[in-house]
Chain A
Amino acid sequence: MFQLDTKSRRTIYQQVVDNVKELILSGVLKEEEQLPSVRELSKLLTVNPNTVLKAYRELEYEGYVYSTVGQGTFVQKRQKGKVDEELLFNGRQSLENGIKELLYAGLSEEDTLKEVNIILEKFRKGTGSK
């Protein structure tokens, strides 16, 4: 499904959460689609099942997925229009950092905006994941 970056500073847990989110956002995981069970995913990734469990709980808490007892974990139907405040804050922070770096790299403001569109396009089309 996705690869974990062992060198990254982000915890495994964080990576699982982020990666699942990305898969959902990019449409690889469709609404109501079942996620692999905690067991399966932990075995697949060689990751502590508790970690996977925690990640799934976090995703559920943030509204990306829901779980039914005995059935599994499924992608939540996305409610259009709702905006998560904390995610927004984080997103803004990341965006700011990202743009800062693009600017330092030597891109012009115009080209920077172009980059943003390219990324948005990627998510719209739903092709692949990192």
Chain B
Amino acid sequence: MITITNLTKRFEDFEALSKLDMNVKKGSIYGLVGTNGAGKTTVIKHVTGVLRGDSGEVMIDGEPVYNNVSEKKRIGYVQDELYFLGNYSFKEMGRFYKNIYKTFNEDRFKEMVNNFDLDLNLKLSRFSKGMQKQAAFILTLCTMPDYLILDEPIDGLDPIIRKLVWKYIVKDVAEREMTVLVSSHNLREMEDICDSIGIISKGRMIIERDLDELKSDIHKVQAAFKDEGIEKEVLKDLKVVHKERRGSVGLYIIRDKKEKVEKAFKDTNPVIFDMLPLSLEEIFIYEMGGGEDEIEAILS
């Protein structure tokens, strides 16, 4: 598992990470989520041993990652900004990875190249951006990593390829208990695939939960009461994150146990009562404090 404790990192005067904690359980698919500039890539660079924190610890299976070859060789990292050596063709890059990572799987490499329909002999610089991402993914996955770290992996890939990518990832997680740490803005996709979520904001970990638990703790309620006064009663003991009125119907985002919420509302016999789970996207937006109004304010 990946354990980060109290990690602080400063770039000049800017504190990119502030006493950040993170825990990724073995065999899980962990989604790292945050606004732009929140520190996702910085965290990832610490996990992959590229950066060294000013204070705090970054460990994999109990051992610090930095400059640790025995740990780093188990990590596969697909960067956001891709880099391939010189003028290498896909094949040459494969050979490079094979020489550096003793665990490189040639058969899988051939198979994946085939499945993704990429040209081994073409120079990687001539690939389109999307294909470069695919190539990077293939190269990394063929090193059979125990830990797969993906920074914005699927942006720019078409839906078919995306599905193929997830298929491979899920296969490895299922078969080899590979641990995956993925950072993305595509929350809808993350929602489907991740089992744990970490929300970062301004260098701090704000929420880190099992995805289902996260979802079960926050609810969207649409209700209409016969009487306005009742609303106040109902909401009195509940953690209301957000409140809106749409005509005669009220929209409430409540962070509380499902049963408590249900009971509170049902006890008052509302005219309309609808409790819906929130999508990860919605959870993110509300946790970040940006309701629809706020976003509108930014956009307008």
Contact between A and B in the complex (any CB pair below 8 Å): yes
Q: In the complex the two chains form, what is the Cα distance from A13 to B216 in whole Å? A: 12
Q: Which residue of A lies closest to B180 (CB)?
A: A48
Asked whether, in the complex, the Cβ of B276 is within 8 Å of the Cβ of A9, the reply is yes
Asked whether, in the complex, the Cβ of B170 is within 8 Å of the Cβ of A48, the reply is yes
Chain B CB within 8 A of A43 CB: yes
Could you mark each residue 1-29 of chain A with 1 if its beta carbon is under 8 Å from any beta carbon of chain B, else 0?
A: 00000100111110000000000000000
Chain B CB within 8 A of A77 CB: no
Chain A CB within 8 A of B192 CB: yes
Could you mark each residue 209-229 of chain B with 1 if its beta carbon is under 8 Å from any beta carbon of chain A, else 0?
A: 001100100000000000000
Asked whether, in the complex, the Cβ of B170 is within 8 Å of the Cβ of A49, the reply is yes
Instruction: Find the residue from B27, B195, B211, B276 having the highest chain A CB count within 10 A.
Output: B195
Q: A46-B166, A46-B170 are in contact. Are A11 and B194 (CB under 8 A)?
A: no
Chain A CB within 8 A of B174 CB: yes
Asked whether, in the complex, the Cβ of B215 is within 8 Å of the Cβ of A48, the reply is no
Q: In the complex the two chains form, what is the Cα distance from A54 to B211 in whole Å? A: 12
Chain B CB within 8 A of A50 CB: yes
Partner of A50, one of B27, B191, B276, B279: B27
Q: Which residue of B lies closest to A51 (CB)?
A: B195
Q: In the complex the two chains form, what is the Cα distance from A47 to B166 in whole Å? A: 8
A-side contacts of B215, CB under 8 Å: 11
A-side contacts of B29, CB under 8 Å: 48, 50
Number of A-B contacts (CB under 8 A): 48
B-side contacts of A43, CB under 8 Å: 167, 170-171, 174
Nearest chain B CB to A91's CB is how many angstroms away?
Answer: 15
Q: In the complex the two chains form, what is the Cα distance from A48 to B195 in whole Å? A: 7
B-side contacts of A65, CB under 8 Å: none
B-side contacts of A12, CB under 8 Å: 192
B:149-198 near A, CB below 8 Å: 163, 166-167, 170-171, 173-175, 191-195
Bin chain A's interface residue count. Answer: 10 to 19
Asked whether, in the complex, the Cβ of B170 is within 8 Å of the Cβ of A42, the reply is yes
Partner of A13, one of B28, B166, B173, B212: B212
Q: A48-B173, A48-B194, A51-B195 are in contact. Are A9 and B279 (CB under 8 A)?
A: yes
Q: In the complex the two chains form, what is the Cα distance from A42 to B195 in whole Å? A: 13
Q: A11-B277, A12-B192 are in contact. Are A39 and B27 (CB under 8 A)?
A: no
Q: Which residue of A lies closest to B193 (CB)?
A: A48
Instruction: Find the residue from A43, A46, A47 having the highest chain B CB count within 10 A.
Output: A46
Chain B CB within 8 A of A75 CB: no
Q: In the complex the two chains form, what is the Cα distance from A50 to B276 in whole Å? A: 23
Chain B CB within 8 A of A59 CB: no
Q: Which residue of B lies closest to A97 (CB)?
A: B274
Nearest chain A CB to B149's CB is how many angstroms away?
Answer: 17
Asked whether, in the complex, the Cβ of A49 is within 8 Å of the Cβ of B174, the reply is yes
Q: Contacts A11-B215, A48-B29 given; 6 further ones with Cβ under 8 A?
A: A11-B212, A13-B212, A42-B170, A46-B167, A47-B192, A51-B195
Q: Can you list 15 A-B pairs, Cβ within 8 angstroms, ordered by A? A: A9-B276, A11-B277, A13-B212, A39-B175, A43-B170, A43-B171, A43-B174, A48-B194, A49-B173, A49-B174, A50-B27, A50-B173, A50-B195, A51-B195, A54-B195
